[in-house]
Structure 1
């Protein structure tokens, strides 16, 4: 019973960690200080929980818990969080925390879900199943964000054409102004990209644990990474090259076609993926 409760807390730590990384990503792309502040406090909560478990483990084993692979991964993740928080507090190095904790999240996810020596066979199988659930949930959430973003871009083009053709009427008034439509489309992609990245990280961990014959050239894997690169390129084009308005809306609509191809076609061709089974 105690082991089950501890496992749930480990999973809570990973979820809080994922939300923190997501908010740091939003701050990195959008210079959102509020998101940065919330991410910092979530990461601080993760650090407190990790430290408590580290001390508890020390009392249980009567030694410093670093001798096994599982303990080493846990301590490694704890060190990354500690260093990022301390350095950021002392020197205020922007975005250092974000990039450091992308690595930290990966390490913590491996520690929590990989069937290492600290878990029984039953616990390991359950954790692997829950890892798959979290992976799929994050992927679908990112797909949802991208889909609604597509809707905003489509509405942008409708409104743009109505204004260009000077078709004034109730339809024009009921659709939001172009600036808001463009911004909402962008924000949803800003949320969807890190969710997709975290889903890919967890999915790869799950595939390596579950399938001995996992291959990087599987259609679903390649399609998902293509999606991530394509939507990341959208953010780059918008933020660095300043592409906005009709051009970026058309780009987003094209990306949605890539999403549909990846979801339906590549999933059916995959050798191991859940949606292709």
Structure 2
């Protein structure tokens, strides 16, 4: 069979146009999200910040805890009264009692309008994005994730799809929008400029229904891991801000304005944990499905190929993170660092192994 004849070039071109169009609309969504943060108004945020400072200081005693008076009996039978400072313990994110911020819009109608426009642009861009992925699949009559370009474009579509699904479920996650549109633009830009590969058929070993199962699970897992990583990274910044807040060291500047609009550190931590815990079983199945496919294609379940090895390392890292969350000494920032290390392993497994390491799964030379 003539492989070239099996490729529908018209559909392939439609796919490229749609992906580029999606990038343009994502750029509009990014600008609208940026306007939401910038023009959301600082007055209400500043008022809430003052209330948070007072509340946090009251809870932790940072506003000036009263000294403790102690009477000590002397050897000669008399007593001496001494004072010692009250002990102030560092509150964890879960027990500071600090409420969530007003959101990226800053609690203003103008900011909320920009936010709604941004979500509308994001939804339109996602429709174009998904259409581009579908036309790519139709151009070759197979799953649209047979190489790094296709994986990257589908990955971005799934990440945005999960974000829009959370919004449809009335989850307060619009704060992710600015970071998500920024990342998707970078992802698609890299895919089109560096990773692009023309529509073509795959090697015989990849012509299997496991391509639909194994790789689709990897894409979904990676997209949700990414959203969790965004939450984890923002948790670290917000946690640092709240510590400064309770100590009376928080500054009323643009950085403080951004931090005040985010959910509380406890909410961000909970969001990241739930997302990671939700998708970890799917990542486990992804590895198992890959092993079954390897046995069918190459006659071995596991050969410690670089891709297999780093998939397992990623699994161990996330398993360690989830176990750490159940251990009192590894909650909070320590567990967050471990979660970011685990996501870094996922990224290296994709970019590093595929491009720089030679193996059965590598895409060196793209």
* Greater RCO (Cα-Cα under 8 Å, separation 6 or more): 2
Structure 2 length-normalised TM: 0.38
Question: Which protein has the bigger helix share?
Answer: 1
